[in-house]
Chain A
Amino acid sequence: MDAGTLIVTLRTIAVSGVATALSILVGVPLGYILARRRFTGRTILLGFINTGMGMPPVVVGLIVWLLLIRSGPFGGLELIYTPTAMVLAQFVLATPIVIGFTTASFQSLSPQLSDLLRVLGAGRVRMLWLLAWETRLGLLAGVMAAFGAIVSEVGASMIVGGNLERSTRVLTTAIVTETSRGEVERALALGVMLFALSLAVNVLLTVVQQRNRP
């Protein structure tokens, strides 16, 4: 593997890894609240979130691009064509997936379980942690689905990142570039790299998920 491929691979891990981590931080608590609270409009909201789980990356990319370009409302932040912009777009793609899986997972737990934990004296954070661990099969499935979706998307990264060789080129956009240049062998090598990365992450998470299988 040459230095260029290595850098692109590491950048892919960094961008999609940070986006996934942020989507967990935001999505798990939101999914937990959606699973436990009853309020008007909840079902409609869940419907939107479930739709969000399958949003076309190109459209999300376009919207984030419109927000971040110079003339856009957040143009002053000068984030367009940076890895941060890519993280942002991927975060928007990943979060509904995490929320959807989290809500379904927590709802599958017995409602008595939270009563039990309250009686035992668990506070809010501890309760969330214990219940999350209890339903980690579903939660980690959500994390894998989210990471899998954003590490393999091209459209959003291309639009908001700009596929700049030195700063925003990731494995998927690199494959598009090499293929259009006729460098099929390099494109294939990058494809293998992407596949290996995805496999490694998923095997790791699956091991955690299935350990002491509930």
Chain B
Amino acid sequence: MTDIRFEDVRFRRDGRDVLSIPSLHIKADRVTAILGPNGAGKTTLLRLIAALDRPHNGRVLVGGDIADTARRSVSLAFQKEVFLRRSLLENLMLGLTIRGADRGEARDRAMAALRLLDIDALAEKRVDQISGGEGRRASLARALCLHAPVLLLDEPMAGLDGSTYARLLDELPGLVGHSGATAVVVTHNPEEAFRLCDDIVILVNGRVRAAGAKREVATNPQFRDVAEILGYTVVNVSGRLVAIPDGALTLAAGPTELAATVDTVLDVAHEWHVIASIGPTRVHIRVPRSEAPPQSGAGIHLSARVKYEVS
């Protein structure tokens, strides 16, 4: 039952505030996604929890203790995996022996984690002999085998190719759930966040823009940047900013009609891609090939099935 609290935290780099969090509570025994664009401070946030960096102001509490003293209740899988030049098994065992397990126990737990990620056949391989996808699995196995109460994953899916990505995205919720840890997953991909997590924290420019259970955060975005990060299309309708969920913007009649002008029509195998302007905003619309393509410059009516006003 280990939660994480940020109290009045500020972190500066090169004289600039890269993170400024007056208050944030990451709940125990839940999976929380930190979602945000590149450079939002997501990795810095993880590094503060792991006590790799210290805040210049305020404090980060892990299970009620200052992060510095709680280091051994945290495990972290880095975005860019890094290993010692030893066998995979020894790489996993190292963390366990540092944290006080004897070699026999360390070997058992390391092997169990390798089996869990289906890479036990690679146990004796040197880490420079394994592929990128296997490396990512190895990095996850190392983080999981520590059985730490807090599990931090930094972009666990980044840089994986299509099939490896799909497979790991399927497996990851089970692996994280199985660990029983309070998990924090950094990602810039809203789909990953929805698949993996219970709660979502949206971080922009080092500030928390939204936080809470994923349904609450995702269904009613309050701010334009939050809506965009969640995959909404934000358009300006009669001076109001309206967030429309991905795929809810179509040609033809619907609950809300928007007038638009067609800028460009692209021919893409199964459908027309129409780029249209609504006021100063440009939107992408997909039109089935069964319909005639709208003419460039023509006025069209769009319908949005769901919309939210944002500021």
Contacts and interface: CB of A to CB of B under 8 A. Distances in A.
Contact of A112 (B72, B74, B78): B78
Nearest to B99: A121
A126 B52 contact: no
B85 A214 contact: yes
Interface size class of B (residues with CB under 8 A): 10 to 19
B100 to A, nearest CB: 9
Contacts, number: 38
A130 interface: yes
B267 to A, nearest CB: 46
Provide the main secondary structure of the chain A interface.
Answer: helix
A59 interface: no
A121 B82 contact: no
B130 interface: no
B124 to A, nearest CB: 12
A119 to B, nearest CB: 5
A156 B164 CA distance: 63
B235 interface: no
B82 A110 contact: yes
B75 interface: yes
B62 to A, nearest CB: 13
A121 B85 contact: no
B82 A113 contact: yes
A130 B84 contact: yes
B265 interface: no
B80 A120 contact: no
A134 B84 contact: yes
Contacts of B80: 112
A119 B50 contact: yes
A196 interface: no
A113 B78 contact: no
Nearest to B87: A212
Contacts of B50: 119
B40 to A, nearest CB: 20
Interface in A71-123: 110, 112-113, 115-122
Interface centre among A118, A119, A120 (most CB of B within 10 A): A119
B4 to A, nearest CB: 15
A167 to B, nearest CB: 46
A118 B71 contact: yes
A119 B74 CA distance: 7
B94 interface: yes
Contacts of A112: 78, 80, 82
A115 B98 contact: no
A177 B50 CA distance: 64
B99 A119 contact: no
B298 to A, nearest CB: 54
Contacts of B95: 120-121
Nearest to B96: A120
Given A113-B84, A130-B84, A214-B85, A122 B78 contact: no
Interface of A: 110, 112-113, 115-122, 126, 130, 134, 214
15 contacts: A110-B82, A112-B80, A112-B82, A116-B78, A116-B82, A119-B76, A120-B94, A120-B95, A121-B71, A121-B99, A126-B98, A130-B84, A134-B84, A134-B85, A214-B85
Given A116-B82, A119-B75, 19 more contacts: A110-B82, A112-B78, A113-B82, A115-B52, A115-B78, A115-B82, A117-B98, A118-B51, A118-B71, A119-B76, A120-B94, A120-B95, A121-B71, A121-B72, A122-B98, A130-B84, A130-B94, A134-B84, A214-B85
